[in-house]
């Protein structure tokens, strides 16, 4: 068994264990393998192990991988980085998911630049749940109004919410932020019932995130090894 396979299996086992502790079925939490900076052959190897969803935020590097691995028909590419206006066309043309949507201007551009021949681009609203001035994401109070804006865009499909919590080891702070995200998703789903995705939790806070309803966790280094 390769080191990559060992790490991947260890992460998968850990997620299953965390789900069991939270009294949840492990098929309710999806693993997004954060493959940024990693070569296409590592992504393809993970694909052969059964992994399908991969997260990227360096656009040029990502497009090279997406093109190289175009023969893997059910692979799923998620854009998880900040979105600049001059990058929207490339994102709209190559990705199936965008997890970092937080501006109407960007939503409009992604919609306009997404080919109607492609399936609608799945999007998550990024929420600045820690309310830090320097952090991307919209304020929790504006989630519903932004959702209504997105719903009017035919080439986008709103699927839920994403957050990056405060960089703290204080579990009480993290738990409060994850709990608020869970409540926000429940409120959002009242008017937008297709919104079932709650993307939150990384290696350091995975258990807390799953306890508070995360349906997708984002793991990179624990699978691929240290970043290049």
The pLDDT > 70 percentage for the chain reads 99
Render pLDDT for 31-81 as a digit per residue (tens, 0 to 9). Answer: 999 999 999 999 999 999 999 999 999 999 999 999 999 999 899 999 999
Query: What pLDDT is stored for residue 166 in this prediction?
Result: 95
Q: What is the CA radius of gyration of the chain?
A: 17
Render pLDDT for 141-191 as a digit per residue (tens, 0 to 9). Answer: 999 999 999 999 999 999 999 999 999 999 999 999 999 999 999 999 999
Looking from the CA of 34 toward its CB, the CA atoms found within 13 Å total 20
Residue span of the structural domain in which 82 resides: 3-224
Q: What is the pTM of this model?
A: 0.97
Q: What does the H/E/C string look like for the chain?
A: CCHHHHHHHHHHHHHHHHHHHCCCCHHHCEEEEECCCCCHHHHHHHHHHCCCEEEECCHHHHHHHHHHCCCCCCCEEEECCCCCHHHHHHHHHHCCEEEEECCHHHHHHHHHHCCCCCCCEEEEEEECCCCCCCCCCECHHHHHHHHHHHHCCCCEEEEEEEECCCCCCCHHHHHHHHHHHHHHHHHHHHHCCCCCEEECCCHHHHHHHHHCCCCEEEECHHHHCCCC
Confidence band, pLDDT 50/70/90 cuts, at residue 125? very high
Query: What pLDDT is stored for residue 221 in this prediction?
Result: 95
Query: What pLDDT is stored for residue 226 in this prediction?
Result: 82
Q: How much is the average pLDDT of 76-92? A: 98
Render pLDDT for 178-220 as a digit per residue (tens, 0 to 9). Answer: 999 999 999 999 999 999 999 999 999 999 999 999 999 999 9
Query: What pLDDT is stored for residue 1 in this prediction?
Result: 73
Mean pLDDT of the chain: 97
What CATH number is associated with residue 120? 3.20.20.10
- Please answer whether residues 156 and 111 qualify as being in contact, where contact means their C-beta atoms are separated by less than 8 angstroms: yes
Is residue 228 predicted with pLDDT exceeding 90?
A: no
Query: What pLDDT is stored for residue 2 in this prediction?
Result: 84
The residues, ordered by sequence, that sit 6+ positions from 97 with a Cβ below 8 Å of its Cβ are 53, 76, 77, 78, 79, 121, 122, 123, 124, 159
Query: What pLDDT is stored for residue 227 in this prediction?
Result: 64
Render pLDDT for 19-35 as a digit per residue (tens, 0 to 9). Answer: 999 999 999 999 999 99
Into how many domains does the chain fold?
A: 1
Residues in the chain, overall count: 228
Cα(198)–Cα(215) distance, rounded to whole angstroms? 5
Nearest to 106 by CA among 85, 121, 86, 122: 85
């Amino acid at each position: 068994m390769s080191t990559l396979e060992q790490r991947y299996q260890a992460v998968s086992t850990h997620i299953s264990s965390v789900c069991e502790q939270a009294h949840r079925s492990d098929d309710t939490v999806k693993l997004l393998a954060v493959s940024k900076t990693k070569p296409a052959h590592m992504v393809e190897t993970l694909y052969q192990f059964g992994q399908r969803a991969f997260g990227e935020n360096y656009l040029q590097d990502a497009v090279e991988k997406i093109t190289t691995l175009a023969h893997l028909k059910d692979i799923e590419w998620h854009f998880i980085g900040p979105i600049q206006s001059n990058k929207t066309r490339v994102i709209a043309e190559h990705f199936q998911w965008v997890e970092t949507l937080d501006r109407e201007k960007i939503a409009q551009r992604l919609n306009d630049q997404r080919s109607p021949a492609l399936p609608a681009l799945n999007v998550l609203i990024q929420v600045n749940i820690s309310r830090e001035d320097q952090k991307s994401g919209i304020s929790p109070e504006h989630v519903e109004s932004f959702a209504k804006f997105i719903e009017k865009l035919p080439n986008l499909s709103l699927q839920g919410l994403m957050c990056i919590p405060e960089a703290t080891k204080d579990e009480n702070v993290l738990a409060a932020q994850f709990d608020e995200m869970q409540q926000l998703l429940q409120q959002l789903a009242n008017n937008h019932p297709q919104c079932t995705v709650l993307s939150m939790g990384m290696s350091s806070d995975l258990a807390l995130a799953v306890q508070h309803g995360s349906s997708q966790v984002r793991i990179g280094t624990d699978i691929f090894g240290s970043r290049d």
